Structures are given as C-alpha cells and as structure tokens.
Amino acid sequence: MPNTRAPKIEVLELKADFVKFVLSDTDTSVANALRRVMIAEVPTMAIDLVTITENSSALQDEFLAHRLGLVPLRCEPGTKFVYNLDCDCEDNCEQCSVTLSLDVSWESKAAGRPDHEKDLPVFVTSSDLVSHDPRVGPVHFASSDIIDASQDDGIMLAKLSRGQRLQLTAVAKKGIAKEHAKWSPVCVATYQFDPIIKVADDVSATLTVAQRQQVVESCPVKVYGLDERTNNIVVRNRLECMYCDECTNVASSLKLRPEDDAVVTVTASQDRFIFSVETNGTIDADQVVQQALEALSLKLQTLRNELINVKQKILAAA
Amino acid sequence: MNAPERSESWRLNEGEEKVDYEPDTKIPNAGNFIIKKEDHTLGNLIRMQLLQDRQVRFAGYLMPHPLENIMRVKVQTNGEVTPMDALSTAIEDLTSEVDNLTQRFAEGVLACKRLQESRQYQ
Ligand code: SF4
Ligand SMILES: [Zn+2]
C-alpha cells in the first residue's frame, strides 16, 4: 500500500553561494535527511595528500598539511571525478585527483618591495597554490562582485621571513564529509520550522494601546507592528521569528485570569520547513541541494537493490 | 596502530554485505535488518516512513554504537505482509518522494531565476 506524499518546494532566494527555500507537505525525517546529506554526503574535492619538498617556515609539516586540506577547492559545474579508491590507477590520475603545487620563498615575494617594508615577512596564501587542472582551483569568493570590492588575496597558509621557503605538491581527491569535514560543501545548512503566529483580535480589543505596544516591543526581532489606523497588533515579519517566547510571556502576564486566552500565540508548523543553505564556494548553492537529493535517492536505490538480493538469498535457502 | 581506516564510515569493507536480515525468534511477524555504513540519515527516514504504513505494528531503528558504522531497523507487521516487504514498500515510496522533490526543486530554481530576471528588466 503506497504511502507517498507529494511535497512541494518554493525557492525564496537564490544566489551563487546561498539558497533559501521552503519545503512543505512532508515529514521532519525527510527535512532532516536532506539537511544531513547536504552537510556530510555531497562529494567535493579537497587536498588529501601533501608531499613537502622544502619547509623552512616556522610551521611543522603536519600543521601545514592540515591547513592545506581545509582550503575549499572550487570545481567547475559538471566536472566529474571518481573516488580514488574506485579508480584503476596505481596512485592517482586525472580521473580521480588534481595536483596542485606551491613554491614560495621569501626572496621571490619580497623582491621589488619598497625599502621600509624590506624586512617584513611575506604571506603564503591559497592564491599561491597552482592547480594543474583548470577546472579545479582554490576558491576565494563565490561571486565576482565581492572579489572586486575586497582587498583579500586568499586564505592565509603561512608566513615566511627572510631566507625561508615553502615548496610542496598537494593532491586533491574526491571525498565526502562523513570521512572528514574538509569535504563538506556547506558552511550553513539548517532548516527552521515555519512559525505560525496568531493574534487574537477579541483579546486584543480588551487591552489598552499601551499594553499592545508592550507586546509589540517585547519581540527582539520586530515580528509585530501596530496598525497605524486601528492600533491593532499585526504580524509584519513572520519569518524572522526565532521562537524565543518573549511575546508569549508578555502576553500571559497581561491575562486577567490564568485561564484566559493569550493575545498572541506562537507555534511551529510541523510540515513546513524553511531551509537556509550557504556554501563555502566549492559548488553553487542550488547544486548542493540538487546533488544532495540525488545522493539521497542513490542511497535509497542501493538499499532497495540490496533488499532484493537478501530476499532472493532467503528464498534460495528455504 | 589501531586507528580505523578513514573511509570506514561510509564504504563497505571488502566482501561485506550491505544488508543482513535476522528474523525475530520471539515475536511473530518481526525481523531485524542490519544495514551497514548507514546512520540516522536513513535510519530515521525509514522508520518514519514505516510508521505511515498501517500494516506495520512496530518500527524502530538504533545505532548500537557511534564507532560502529551500522544501523539496526526492527520491523513488526500485522502478518499481512512480511517485514521484508514492508521495508521494501517504504523504500520504494521514499525513492519516489525524493525523485519528486528533485524535480520540484529544479522547477523552483527555474521559477526563482525567472523572477529575478524579470525584476532586473523593470
Ligand atoms: S517568539 Fe520571540 S521572535 Fe517569535 S514573535 Fe515572539 S518574541 Fe518575536
Ligand atoms: Zn585514478
């Protein structure tokens, strides 16, 4: 007996690195599965193997390798890699990995500096990483508008002083964040329950304008407002609500008798979820959601096929 | 060193079966599924979907230990279907729901892009 639901999605906001959408007519378990897959099971590329030829900086090799691993690498949309462990190659090849190299010495960077800056240390950043595959490279900013407006030149990896040098090659591999968080494509992937905020107009009518004002002002995120003409409480920014219960506390303190209805009530909708997803730049935000849904579907299909296998094995044994 | 392989949290070991089934010896029409390399993501999803089914009397899942990458699902039915079939149906339904969602999301993105474009021309 099929028990399928027909969930809906409405995209509210879409940028290269951010998407906000409403998922409705489904269960919390689906919303939570989607959130968890976005965080931990959407594959990306990250540096996984570092060969250090020379490191005379103040940082140890391990520390440096860890920092390199955490640098987000952007993949051109449509770029497909296979997992290194599934690949037929011996160590690594273009199908399963990307090589990046870095070679910075204090002398090379400090050359041409004005005299008063001569002795200052130089910075090694992610923009010094040279990718051998044009489709993959260290991400700086998700959108070009911000890149022009900022003076940032990459993620700081190390500082070098006179005579120091850093030379290494790094191999980036495909992976998922279940193995290590460096593979996670998102910074933020959360959902909130859609707030249902009700104003009881009959109760409101029994309150003075000052009391209504008190309820309106109790909300720290300005969900409520007072109607200019009628001086009634109105809901202005419903989606801003963070369930802090300030307004309902004030509302219950305004009750004459404890059994009276409160002037405002805040409840969480059980089947509408507002997702906010912000990526770290490795994949576009809408792609994160799309790939998460595909990954989830793939997981379910694998399980279904495995169940058929198990069933046949049991039948064969009987 | 006794550190586990890093990929062990999500890749099946060599020769390992994804799913094992143990019929329950004490309760009628009940069985345990041991699903390897899965966690709360699928566990809770499957459990909630099973609970929608009126032929399912009991459905629960647990992760016995956070360092063991397995998940156990226990299903008891009312006898009209086997636990195996109940689980298959649940997964079938979830697959179609997720595929449906994928499509809805693509449509939503298109609609949002169109809206953004029309705003730009104004
Ligand atoms: S619960 Fe908090 S955030 Fe929500 S409306 Fe009331 S006061 Fe505002
Ligand atoms: Zn390879």
Q: pLDDT tier at B122 (50, 70, 90 boundaries)?
A: confident
Q: Are A213 and A247 in contact (CB under 8 A)?
A: no
Domain tally, chain B: 1
How does pLDDT run across A188-203, given as a tens digit for each residue?
999 999 999 999 988 9
Nearest CA in chain B to A31: B45
Fold of A201-262: Alpha-Beta Plaits (3.30.70)
A113 touches chain B (CB under 8 A): no
The whole-number pLDDT of residue A148 equals 63
In chain A, what are the domain boundaries? 1-42+272-318, 44-183, 201-262
Cβ burial, residue A109 (10 Å; 0-12/13-18/19+)? middle
Q: Give the pTM.
A: 0.91
Work out the angle between the directed axes of helices B83-121 and A28-40 (0-180°, nearest 10): 70
Q: Ligand 1 within 6 A of A199 CB? A: no
Query: What is the CATH T-level fold of the domain A44-183, as seen in this structure?
Result: RNA Polymerase Alpha Subunit; Chain A, domain 2 (2.170.120)
Q: Characterize the bridge pairing of strands A18-24 and A8-14.
A: antiparallel
Tell me the ipTM for this assembly: 0.95
Q: Quick one: CA torsion of A107, A113, A117, A122, rounded to 10 degrees?
A: -40
Q: What is the pLDDT of residues B57-85, one digit of tens each?
A: 999 999 999 889 999 999 999 999 999 99
Within a domain: B1: no
Q: Which residues of chain A have pLDDT under 70?
A: 1-2, 141-152
The CATH number of the domain covering residues in A1-42+272-318: 3.30.1360.10
Tell me the per-residue pLDDT of B27-63, one tens digit each, with 9 for 90 and over: 999 999 999 999 999 999 999 999 999 999 999 999 9
Residues of chain B positioned with their CB less than 8 A from the CB of A299: 38, 41-42
Q: For chain B, first and last CA: distance in Å?
A: 65
A61-100: pLDDT as tens digits: 999 999 999 999 999 888 899 999 999 999 999 999 999 9
pLDDT of amino acid A106 = 93
**Number of Cβ atoms within 10 Å of the Cβ of A186:** 24
Residue-level pLDDT at A147: 61
CATH number at residue B19: 3.30.1360.10
Q: What would the two tokens of residue B110 be?
A: 């298109």
Smallest Cα distance from B1 to chain A, Å: 18
CB contact under 8 A, A311 and B84: yes
Instruction: Return the pLDDT at A287.
Output: 95
pLDDT at residue number A139:
85
Q: What is the pLDDT of residue B120?
A: 83
- Report pLDDT for A141: 57
Q: How far is the CA of A192 from the centre of ligand 1 (A)?
A: 14
Mutate to test the pocket of ligand 1, among A217, A223, A250 (most ligand atoms within 8 A of CB): A223
d(CA B46, CA A306): 15
Interface test with B, best of A299, A305, A308 (most B CBs within 10 A): A299
Instruction: Indicate the average pLDDT of chain A.
Output: 92
A78 vs B: CB within 8 A: no
Same fold, A1-42+272-318 and A201-262: no
